[in-house]
Amino acid sequence: MRQIMTMMAALALIADPAGATKTKVTPTPAPTAPAAAPAPSGPPIGYPQALILIRTHLAAVQQANETSDYDVLFRLGARGFQAANPPARLAQIFAPVRAYNLNAAMVLEPKFIEAPHLLADQKLAMKGVFDVQGKHIEFGMIFTAEEARWRLFGIAVQVH
């Protein structure tokens, strides 16, 4: 799982290089009432929607690995993901799982390590595992809202 986190962190940092810049902190007066959390800008997320996101993107990885064409996976990504991960880079990233068939995971329920949740920056994150024929397909995914839908911002897949 550490490798998944490292890969996701690398993809997220590459996809959002502004996150690595320092910001100047300016003191602000204490609010008189607690501030409400910003509303998520993506569509509502429940378990069925999370399954759709997981299966869609795992299927895209599987199909890209089968065809050696990572363009669809690339196009499913958010603008920042696309800027940092051209199809040739995605081919390198997913080379370690190319020998495995991820299709069996499409009909199973994932066991969530981290259930779908919103991060402080309103990105949607989730981590889990599929147990398939003695193998564990671990995944981690981060999505960001663009054009009123969840777009892939970071993804990691590992089989062991």
Domain of 111, CATH number, reads 3.10.450
Question: Does the structure show a pLDDT above 50 at 13?
Answer: no
In a domain, 117, yes or no: yes
Is residue 26 one of the residues assigned to a domain? no
Structural domain contains residue 38: no
Residue 24, pLDDT score: 37
- 93, 96, 98, 104: CA torsion to nearest 10: -110
pLDDT of 132 strictly over 80: yes
pLDDT above 80 for 135: yes
The verdict on residue 136 lying in a domain is yes
Q: How far apart are CA 2 and CA 154, in angstroms?
A: 15
Total count of domains within the chain? 1
Range of the domain at 81: 2-9+43-159
Number of residues that make up the chain: 160
C-alpha–C-alpha distance, residues 41 and 123, integer Å:
9
Residue 24 domain-assigned? no
- The residues that bridge with 144 in the sheet, in sequence order, are 151
Q: Is the pTM of this model over 0.85?
A: no
Q: Is residue 30 part of a domain?
A: no
> Is 17 part of any domain?
no
- Summarize pLDDT for 43-95 with one digit per residue, the tens: 678 999 999 999 999 999 999 999 999 999 999 999 999 999 999 999 999 99
Give the max Cα distance, the chain. Answer: 58
Residue 58 placed within a domain: yes
Asked if residue 150 lies in contact with residue 124, where contact means CB atoms within 8 angstroms, the answer is: yes
Residue 9: partners with Cβ closer than 8 Å, 6 or more residues away? none
